[in-house]
A and B are shown apart, each in its own frame.
Chain A
Amino acid sequence: MGLTTFLVRRAVTFVPTLLGVLLITYLIAYAVPTDPVRAWVGEKLMNPERLQEIREKYRFDRPWYEQFAFLVSELLSGRLEDPVRQRNVFTELFYRFPITVEVALIGFIFLVLIGIPLGVLAAVKKDSFIDFFVRIFALTGSSLPAFVLYYFLILGFFVYTHTTYLAGIPYPTQTCRDWIGSLPTTYPYVGNFISAIGSVPMFGAAMCGEWFVVADTFKRLYLPGLALGLLNGGFIARIVRNSLLDALGSEYVLFAKARGLKKLRIWRHVLKNAMIPVVTVLGINFGGLLSGAVIAETVFNIPGMGRYMYDSITRLNFPAIIAATFLFAIIYIVTNLVVDILYAAIDPRIRY
C-alpha cells in the first residue's frame, strides 16, 4: 500500500466534502431573506425596470429551489455574475486570488522565519528565560486583535518612517506575462500547471528572472507578512519546541544513544520526528493565513480576495460572497490535501 493508494483514497473523500461545501454555500444563499437588489444597484441607476430585470435574472421572483439551482449552476459553469460590478465573478476572483496568495505566502515566510528558530531555541534552552519569553510571545500573539496590530504597524512603519508603501501590486512585464500565458499551448498539461503557478505575479516574475519585481513585491507586502508572522510565530515556536522536546525525551532517541549512534545521526532522528506536528500545524496555519487575509487586506488596502469579500459584504453582494466562499473552501481543502501528502511522505504510519 504505497503513497499512490493513499492519495487516491484521499482524493475520493475530497468529492463528498466538495459537494457538502456547495450545499452550505447554497444554504447561505437561501438564508437571504429579502431582496438585496436595491443594495446592488447604485442610487443613480435606481429605476423600477432595472430592479425588476435584476430580480428576474437572479430568480428572486421564483421559489428558493430555483434560486438555488440557478446560483449553483451559474457558479459551477463559471457564469455567475457579480451584480454590483456587473462582470463575471470569476474574472474578478482570478485577478484577486494571486494577490491573496502572495500576501499569505509572505506571511508564511515570516511565520517560518520567526517560529522555527525561536522554537528550537526554546527547546534547547528549556526552562530558561528564552523559553519563558517564547511562551509569553505565543500567548500574546494569540491574544492580540489582528487589526489593532495592523494599525500600529502601519503607524510605525509607514506613517512615521515611510519604509514601505502600501498601494498597488507589482506585476511582471508584459513579455513575461505573454510567455507564461503561452506555456499551455507549447507544453500541454505541464504547461497548464506551470502557467497556473506563474499567474501569481511574484512566481511569474521569478520564472522570467525579473527579480526586481519579486523584490518590489516583498517591499510592498512585507508589512502584512510581518504582522501575520508576529501574530502566529509564537504559536508555531511553541509547537516546534514541544515536538522537539517530545522527540528528545523519547525512548527511540535513548535507544539510538544506547546503540552508540553519533550525535549527527541522533539529531536526524529527532528532527524528522519533530517535523511531523510542525508540518501539520504550519499547513493549518497557511489556511488560517488565507482566512486572515480578509482583515489584513481590508486594513492594508490590498485588492485581494479578502478585500473583495469585505466589499461584497457591505453591498450585500451575495453572488460574490458565495463565489468567494466557495473558492476559499477549495483552496483550504487543497492546502489540507497538500499537508496530508507531506505528512504521508514523512510518516510511514499514515500511508494506510
Chain B
Amino acid sequence: MAESLQDGQVLKVRDLEVKFYTYAGVVNAVSRISFEVYEGEVVALVGETGCGKTVTTRALTRLIEHPGRIENGSALFKRRNNEVVDLLKVPEEVIRDIRGNEIAYVFQDPTSALDPLYTVGTHIVETVTNHRKVKAKEVLRDAIRLLKEVVIPSPELRVKNYPHELSGGMRQRAVIATSLSNSPKLLIADEPTTNLDVTIQAQILELLKNLQAKYKMSLILITHNLGIVAEISDRVYIMYAGKIVEEALTTDLYYKPLHPYTQLLLRSVPNPLKRIEKLESIPGVVPSLINPPPGCRFYPRCPYATDVCRREEPSMIEVEPRHRVACWLYLKR
C-alpha cells in the first residue's frame, strides 16, 4: 500500500472508478475521483442529479450492484480500532461488519428505506444485533434512547410503530436513529431532505448537524442544494459528470468560486441561504456518461471554453491553499 492515512483523516479515496455495463454501452458513472474526509468534519458533495454522487458513496462500502462494477481505486479507512484498511479490498465479511457499524448511511427516500413489514424498533435492534452480541431486550431500551435523540416524541410508543404509521419527517428521523445505532465513525447522508416537506428539511439538517457534533463522527452530506451546504458543511466537493471539479472550504467556495460550473451554480442561487430546489437554470444538459467528451466534461456548457478544453482534460491543481480546481483557466501552460 503506497499511500497511508495522514493525521486526522478517516477516509482517503484515490482514483475511484465505477462503471455500469449496460447493453447501451459502458456508463462511466464515476471517473477516477479522489477525496478525503477528516475526523469530525462535515463534507458536502454537490452536483446535479445523475452526476454520480450516490454511486460514489455507495462504492465506498461496495454496495454497487449488477450491472455496476468498481473498476479501480482505493478507499483507505481508519477503523475504530485504528486499523487502516482498504475498503475496496477487504474480505466480504469485514466490509459487511463495517457497513452500518462504522460507516452508516441515510438514504434519500425514508419511505422506501424502511421495510414496511417491520417496526422501527426491529430495524434498530437488528442493526445492532447483526454487529454485536447483545440481547435484543437491551437494544430495545437503547432504541428508545436513540429515538429520543432524534427528537421523536413519545419514543416508547413509536418504537413499536410500523413505518406507515409515521409521517415522512418522522420516518427520516427513524432512519437516522437506525443509522446511528452503532455510533458510526462516518455517516453518509444521501440527499436526506430532498423528499421531505420544506418546513421539515431545516429540522432534519439541524438534527444531523447536532448529532454529528455529539457523536463526534464525520459526515458526508450529499446534496444538489447549495443552500444546505452553506449552513452546515466545513468543506465542499463539486461534482460534474462523474468527476470532481472543485474542492474548497465552504467559506472560500462562496467567497471565490473558481470553476465556471461552480460560478454558474452559485449564480443560479442568488442567496445561498435561500433554498432552491433545482439547478436547472444552466443551459445545456449533462453529457452522456456513456461516451464522455474527451476534454473537459463541462466544455459543451462552459461560457469560457477554449480549444484546449475540448481536446485535453484539465487536471486538478491547488490554486490557493486548500482550494483545488480542475479547469484550464487556472492551468499555466
Contact = CB atoms under 8 A, between A and B. Distances in A.
Interface of A: 250-262, 265, 269, 272-273, 346-349
Given A260-B101, A261-B127, A255 B114 contact: yes
A5 to B, nearest CB: 15
A348 B116 contact: yes
Contacts of A346: 117
B162 A348 contact: yes
26 contacts: A250-B112, A252-B112, A254-B65, A254-B107, A255-B113, A255-B114, A256-B115, A257-B99, A258-B61, A258-B104, A258-B105, A258-B107, A259-B100, A259-B126, A259-B127, A259-B130, A259-B179, A260-B130, A260-B131, A261-B100, A261-B130, A262-B130, A269-B115, A272-B117, A349-B162, A349-B164
A218 to B, nearest CB: 35
Interface string B117-132: 1100001001100110
Contact of B178 (A253, A254, A259): A259
Interface string B172-185: 00010011000000
Contacts of A251: 107, 109, 112-113
B117 A273 contact: yes
Contact of B97 (A250, A254, A257, A260): A260
A258 B115 contact: no
A105 to B, nearest CB: 28
Contacts of A254: 63, 65, 107
Contacts of A265: 126, 130
A213 B115 CA distance: 45
Interface residues on B, range: 20 to 34
B179 to A, nearest CB: 7
B117 A347 contact: yes
A251 B54 CA distance: 13
Nearest to A261: B130
A146 B169 CA distance: 53
A250 B163 CA distance: 15
Contacts of A257: 63, 99
Contacts of B127: 259-261
In terms of DSSP, what is the predominant structure of the interface of chain A?
helix
Contact of B164 (A255, A260, A273, A348): A348
A257 B116 CA distance: 16
B216 interface: no
Nearest to A264: B130
A1 to B, nearest CB: 10
A260 B96 contact: yes
Nearest to A346: B117
B98 interface: yes
Interface of B: 58, 61, 63, 65, 96-101, 104-105, 107, 109, 112-118, 123, 126-127, 130-131, 162, 164, 175, 178-179
Contacts of A252: 112-116
Given A261-B100, A348-B162, A348-B164, A255 B105 contact: yes
A48 B117 CA distance: 68
A134 B104 CA distance: 39
B32 to A, nearest CB: 24
Nearest to B98: A260
Specify which of A255, A257, A346 lies most central, judged by the most chain B CB atoms within 10 Å of its CB.
A255
B195 to A, nearest CB: 11
B117 to A, nearest CB: 5
A345 to B, nearest CB: 11
B116 A262 contact: no
Nearest to A249: B65
Contacts of A260: 96-101, 127, 130-131
B179 A269 contact: no
Nearest to A258: B105
Specify which of A250, A259, A269, A349 lies most central, judged by the most chain B CB atoms within 10 Å of its CB.
A259
Specify which of A260, A262, A273 lies most central, judged by the most chain B CB atoms within 10 Å of its CB.
A260
3 A-B pairs with least C-beta separation: A259-B100, A260-B100, A260-B99
B205 to A, nearest CB: 20
A348 B165 CA distance: 9
B132 to A, nearest CB: 11
Specify which of B105, B123, B126, B175 lies most central, judged by the most chain A CB atoms within 10 Å of its CB.
B126
Contacts of B175: 255
A256 B115 CA distance: 9
Specify which of A256, A262, A269, A273 lies most central, judged by the most chain B CB atoms within 10 Å of its CB.
A256
A262 B58 CA distance: 18
A255 B104 contact: no
Contacts of A250: 112
B244 to A, nearest CB: 23
A121 B17 CA distance: 33
A255 B162 CA distance: 16
Contacts of B115: 252-253, 256, 269, 273
A349 B118 CA distance: 10
A263 to B, nearest CB: 9
B164 A258 contact: no
A258 B162 contact: no
A243 B99 CA distance: 26
A258 B117 contact: no
A265 B129 CA distance: 11
Contacts of A261: 100, 126-127, 130
B88 to A, nearest CB: 16
A273 B96 CA distance: 23
Nearest to A259: B100
Given A258-B107, A260-B96, A348 B117 contact: yes
Contact of B116 (A255, A256, A259, A349): A349
Given A257-B99, A258-B105, 8 more contacts: A251-B112, A251-B113, A255-B114, A258-B58, A259-B178, A261-B126, A273-B117, A347-B116
A346 B113 CA distance: 19
